[in-house]
Structure 1
Amino acid sequence: FKVVKRPEAVVHISGPVRRPGTYQYRPGMRIRDLLSVAEGLLPDAQVFWKRAEIYRTGADKREQLITFNLKAVLDGEEDANIQLKPGDRVVIYREEEVRAPLTVTASGALQRPGTYKLTAGMTVKDLLMAAGGLREDAYSKRAELWRRTDGYLRQIITLNLDEILRDGKHDVPLQPFDELRVYRPDEISVPPSVVVRGCVQMPGTYEYAVGMHLSDLLAAAGGILPNAYRKRADLIRYDEGEERVLYSVDIERVLAHDPSHDLELQPRDELIVYSDEEVRTPHIVQIQGAVQRPGSYPRPMNMRVSDLLFQAGGLLPNAYTERAFLIRQHPNGVSKLVVINLDRAQAGDP
């Protein structure tokens, strides 16, 4: 049998440090250790000492916000030097970023749309309450949270306000300058956007900007992870006939802004970045999209699409079953896009 190397656990740091970015996590790693790996703070930066933040994804996939006093960490106070966990994102601010009150905005079909002060632990539900709640004409099944990233693009997080208001399980902690957009039914439309999935720091949907390239999308997503496969990624694009077309690019050449690989994006483009394990291990398959448990799974002999769907917990109720796409990678590096009817696949059609 073949022993597969476990994917590296990572942590991320941004703000006025000498080397912001993503680093390998080490057991027992604390804030001061990460600052040391990032070569410390910039000497001329006016750092805001009283508050820095850790964004942590819990076991329930919800993001948690943890604050700490940066000066206390550097002064050696062990209680302030919080132990990190894999996937943590540490954010350090400059004085000018927090001199004015940190705010969040709520717009659209609300009783009191406007800009509100961001308080500790504030969530989307709290912002909805501060804005007086939804108007009668609000469409509550789909709202959007527009979030700043390290680059100039913004991440678009789709929300179901019914679920958030009902039990809070799907509530989302807010970050500085988040913008919640609540629409009326007649205003519902999907804004131009692009998607990045796989081995990046912050996979998800991002706003599309005219003239943006693959390198811009990777920057908005926080960059690739250390275990990303750099020799190829796949860009899926809709052509004029609404058929999906696959383009393969070299990630290293994308990051070097090689125009033959750092392609200009179009709305609805989807970039898939693979890990070393996914590309170099032929016994792993991956499933994404409208299934109960998207992710990577071992591939036994004679495995079929129906078997993979079963391992992933089955389709979600809103899954489109008439057409799905299988990206098959061959040993010579060539990928083939195969169209599958999921109804027939689940019925055992080979």
Structure 2
Amino acid sequence: MSRADVRIARVALLWVVVAALFAIPARAQGEGGSMGGFGSGSAPGSDPGSTPSTSGFDRSSTFRTGPPGLTEDLARGMLPVPNAALGLAGSIDAELYRVGPGDVLQLLMWGKVSRSLVLDVGPEGQVLLPGIGTLDVDGRTLANVREDVFRRMRREFRDVQMDLRLVQPRSFRVYLSGRVRVPGPLVTLATSRVADVLTAGQLADDGSRRRIEVRHRDGTREEADLELFNRLGLNTRNPYLRDGDILQVPVATDFVYAAGAFARPGRIELGAIDSLLTLFKLAGDPLPAADAERALLIRFSKPFQPESLWFGLDDVYSNRQNPPLQEGDRLFVYYIPQYHLQHQIEVVGEVARPGVYPIVEGRHRLSDLVAAAGGFLPVANLSAIRVQRRNTGTGAPDPELDRLLRLSRNDLTNTEYEVLRTRLASLKEEFRVDWARLQSNRTQLDLLLRDGDVVRVERLVSSIRVDGEVRRPGIVEFSRGRRAEDYVSEAGGFTDRAWRSRVRVTRSVTGQTLLAKNVSALDPGDIIWVPERPDVSAWQQFQTFLMVAAQVATLLIAVDAVRN
């Protein structure tokens, strides 16, 4: 091939390349587009009037734009933009969200033109609209940017519907200062609000939750109130964060108090513009048991001069009585006396359905409870049903009982110990009921139940327990007609230290403890106790002997004097 032929071939190849370059936009325009890169037809298989899917991008119809020279080419085959909604607390408010560098927006178009366009906000806060130019969006709300983009695009496109949405929020730094655990910079998303960065353990214990100052770079300031947001859901008191914001958390110093019939009574930090109604809301509003006519506000107009304001709940909600709050105000809402008062008792032991049962005081009796519990089991001891009842007493303080309770056993004298046992026993009453006797005399023996009573039905035990100073303490089989000495003998007899004259029997039916010599017949479940004989030293025996001898001598002298 000659040099001329080579030159001709090069020129021909150049013309082919030029023709190919011109063919691409011509083909795009032939599809109906009037602007390089946009077509007029609908997506394959879709209705021209329908909204394109937003779950992902059509690879054959997606543009990505950015600063000129970087992302203005057609991005065929590009992966979908990540779903930025993951991890968000909810949908963002386009009227409040401010666009900035790093945000990724998506412009959807359908109708005569069906395309999606991804708009990256560059470092200078601008987006590129192909064929139109750059648009400054930094610091503007998403709603404002959306309106501006629609206006510009509709100049080029007729009969086209559009939507602009945020698909990937940017991240930026904010700065925490004041009463926070870790002051300094913090990276967060542009969709974050004040509560997102301060409720994750960032606030110090004494940090204010109601007077948080948000300082923006443009010099404007906002005040966040986490209590109004968390308890009442006021988003306006939980503003969006912007690039470079400074969050200043002061010390919480002013408080008010809500007590009584509230859902959340307690101490509440005072906000900047709180009123009585605000305190009602923050305390959870009055309960249904609240007395609608009895609410009291106490405040100090002077350091030592409290003032009282009585009002009804309707006065607050109707704004007739809704004064602004002051530091130290105390609010009391009273309960309705005896409101939905519920009484209940408990039955345990050998009944068909043990458990807790509601009662009406003054109406329900022991027999009613037994019927509700399904009756007795065959193994129940019907001769020793116990009803334990709290003794509320007079309600007056008992200083002597308080003093005795503070002393240890070693510090108590025998007299004080007996006094303590007696007073403690008086705090709980106990009734023992024989069911057979009750059936024969319901009027007198069928006990009226009270709130808090505990009814115990013990298992029938056909044995006697022998404890104390016997050789084989334990359970001995019961046999009718036998006396205490017989059961002691069956338990191996007395030990050397047994105090035989002081043997006691605790009756299972009445709970009384008696000397064994005074008990003619024992019952199943009785307990025999053989105490230990106290040790007596030789000196104590000598003292006893001298005392007895002196008494005898005195008696003899007196008798002799009478005779003479």
| Higher radius of gyration, 1 or 2 | 2
Q: Which has the higher helix share?
A: 2
TM-score by length of 1: 0.33
TM-score by length of 2: 0.22
Tell which has more relative contact order, 1 or 2 (C-alpha 8 A, sep 6+). Answer: 1
